[in-house]
Amino acid sequence: MCQAEYPLHHKILLTDKTNAMKRIYSVKRRIFIAASLLIFLNAAHAQLPFSDGFESGNFFTGGWSVSGAAQISTQFPATGIYCVEGPATWGIVKTIPSISVSTLVVEFAAKASQTNTACLIFRIKDTSPGGTSAGMFFDNLGNIIGVNGTVSIPLTTYTPGTWYSIRLILDMTTHTYDIFIDNILKADDFGFFSAAFTDPYLFTWSSIAASGSAWIDDVNIYASITGLDDLTANAMNFYPNPAHSTLQIASGIAGDCTVSFYDMTGVLLLEKTIQTASTEIDLSGLKQGVYLAVLRDNGNRILFSKTIVKL
């Protein structure tokens, strides 16, 4: 039996449909690989480290719970192509169960659209109703605020439309935490909001304002070395970012460390051992793109991580 010959325009439609299906399969496969990688990496240590620059273009890959108007945006992200935009009332929550560490580090980039609206509130909560340890927020007077116990303290003023690098270092033994803004120590040994706080469980970014917007990018949550002093923590940085052929690493720690570079699917592409507190890494072997750089000590404990853009 001879097969019927399709008209030319039918062949073109079938070809286009086939190519479209291939593209959809390719996207779904990348999302599946990324999700599988996160599950694998997180299972290694009570789901830590966790890292999401939102380059998957969705909330599903990072396991986020989303409410209100929160959305993935391409509007001038801190790095890469995507970030989170929270207009008016919104919220995103990352749940990480079974965290039991001495020192916890939370990093993220944040910006706000205006200074007359409290458009961003960040909290770390345990499993108890209303249980909060550390937090900070952008207030309606143009300040970035830290919370020392139950007292709100202005840390610095902010400029609308400007990305700020936020890092909180929680000492789970003393129930105190530090806040760094753009690698400058702004809050030293602030007390937890709740003295009865147990283990971290929920990491929440939200707003209940009727107007104004905030953006979040490059979220990293990981266990770090107990007793990192302020000088050491302040010295940890990767720059310039974006980078061309080289990246300068200031570890703040004298002794062997390892820096690893992963692509956005979690594939390890470059790893170097450094033996001084400051060194330069050759990135010429990496293609243009977005990478996660992770700095570990010789006990394989994460000291610092950051999303890097290679130009």
143-168 confidence digits (pLDDT tens):
999 999 999 999 999 999 999 999 99
Q: CA geometry: angle at 106 spanning 104 and 111, to 5°? A: 165
What is the arithmetic mean of pLDDT over 72-100?
Answer: 94
Predicted confidence (pLDDT) per residue in 93-144, tens digit: 999 998 888 889 899 999 999 999 999 999 999 988 768 899 999 999 999 9
Predicted confidence (pLDDT) per residue in 165-218, tens digit: 999 999 999 999 999 998 888 998 999 998 889 899 999 999 988 889 999 999
The rounded radius of gyration (Å) of the Cα atoms in the chain is 21
User: Residue holding tokens 């400058």?
Assistant: 184
Residues 182 and 157: their CA atoms lie apart, in Å, by 13
Residues 269 and 190: their CA atoms lie apart, in Å, by 38
Predicted confidence (pLDDT) per residue in 94-106, tens digit: 999 988 888 898 9
Closest CA to 81 of 217, 214, 206, 244: 217
Residues 89 and 202: beta-carbon distance below 8 Å: no
Q: Is the whole model's pTM more than 0.85, yes or no?
A: no
Residue 29 has pLDDT above 50, yes or no: no
Residue 260 has pLDDT above 50, yes or no: yes
Max mean pLDDT range (70-79, 124-133, 294-303): 70-79
Torsion 223-229-232-233 (CA) sign:
positive
Q: How confident is the model at residue 26 (pLDDT cuts 50, 70, 90)?
A: very low
